[in-house]
Amino acid sequence: MSGKVIGGAVIGYGGMGGFHSEKMQSVDGVELLGVYDIDPERNELAESRGIHAYPSREALLADPKIGLVTVATPNDVHREIVIAALAAGKNVICEKPVAMDSAELEEMIAAANRYGRLFTVHQNRRWDEDYLTMRKIVEAGELGNAYRIESRVHGSRGIPAGWREEKAHGGGMVLDWGVHLLDQMLTMMGDRKLLSVYATMTNITNDECDDGFTAQVKFENGPEWIVEVGTCNYIEMPRWYAFGDSGSLIIRNWDCDGEIVKIYNRGEDDVPPVLAGAGLTRTMAPRNEQTVEKFPIERVKSDWAEYYRNVIATLNGKAEIVVTHDQLRRSMKLIEAVFESARKNEVVKF
């Protein structure tokens, strides 16, 4: 990529901070100049890896060579650090979830407008290959009219230890994995109007934060969605299910193992009944193999580095940012509605 090389830095050198540092070191157009973490041991680790560690956040933000700062800290301090970086004249990438609520998000957007700097969020899972594969199949009409989509991520280890299990720091699965799955859903649905959401949450391993949730989301002129995250499931569930009037789909995992089954003759004559439990049924009898056909999943290839390439191209005036303020607003409103629905045990309408 031609254009000015942008000096980059990362605030928060934990797991995701390390990820962002690696991306800045591997993507053309940006040069990692250093990191800062409030934990001295993390700064020492960065130095041992040949990465400059600034003595303070203020020192990092005062470096005129830095043009892009990625904030990879616990969720509750995003607003403060993002606004400080924008005020220092830096363009900012913030880890997800962008904020604790819509009010904080609006403060960050206002600061970006006030200081004339780019502000966006690391919604990297828009580049997940399982999601892109699913999206291509549905949008190509391979299932006919898709009327239900189920998106799930399940694990068996509970909430990761540390700040992610503490409510004050923005812990819990809605703000950890849910923000990704809901963003994928909203991106795929585009401008379709949100109608309602009904959500439930679990607190099996943690009384303070949700360790799982299920959200039923309805759109105008679009499929109904089930978005679910669980951390106490010991039997693997499919990553994706989708149902259309002409076919069904299953994607079992991130490797995109699965298949599409399409129907070619809906009506079958003389369907013999089958024994189901203590009774007979034609309704649930298996299909004649001559009326359906099975197809393998064709995996869509992707590269997570495309997120950073988009940011760099935008800063060089060669592209428009992919993760926009309006998308962030919509996602945050939906997340707030998920919490409200679960708290009140009722459907929230938009």
Question: Which residues touch 304 (CB under 8 Å, ≥6 apart)?
Answer: 23, 124, 127
Establish how many alpha carbons lie within 13 A of residue 25's alpha carbon, considering only the half-sphere containing its beta carbon.
14
- Mean pLDDT for 87-94 is 98
| 135-247+321-350: CATH architecture | 2-Layer Sandwich (3.30)
| 6-122: CATH architecture | 3-Layer(aba) Sandwich (3.40)
- What pLDDT digit, counting tens, does each position of 144-180 carry? 999 999 999 999 998 887 888 888 888 999 999 999 9
- Mean pLDDT for 259-288 is 87
Residue 97, preceding peptide bond in cis (omega within 30° of 0): yes
CA-to-CA distance for 11 and 18, rounded, in angstroms? 10
Q: Where does the chain have alpha helices with state H?
A: 15-26, 40-48, 57-62, 78-87, 102-115, 129-139, 173, 179-189, 306-315, 325-344
What Cα–Cα distance (Å) separates residue 140 from each residue in 145, 224, 263, 346?
10, 18, 16, 35
Say how many C-beta atoms besides its own lie within 10 A of residue 289's C-beta.
Answer: 8
CA-to-CA distance for 110 and 329, rounded, in angstroms? 13
Sequence ranges of the domains in the chain: 6-122, 135-247+321-350
CA-to-CA distance for 223 and 146, rounded, in angstroms? 6
Give residue 11's identity as a one-letter amino acid code.
I
Euclidean distance between the first and the last CA atom of the chain, given in angstroms as a whole number: 42
10-24, 101-115, 271-285: least confidently modelled range? 271-285
pTM: 0.94
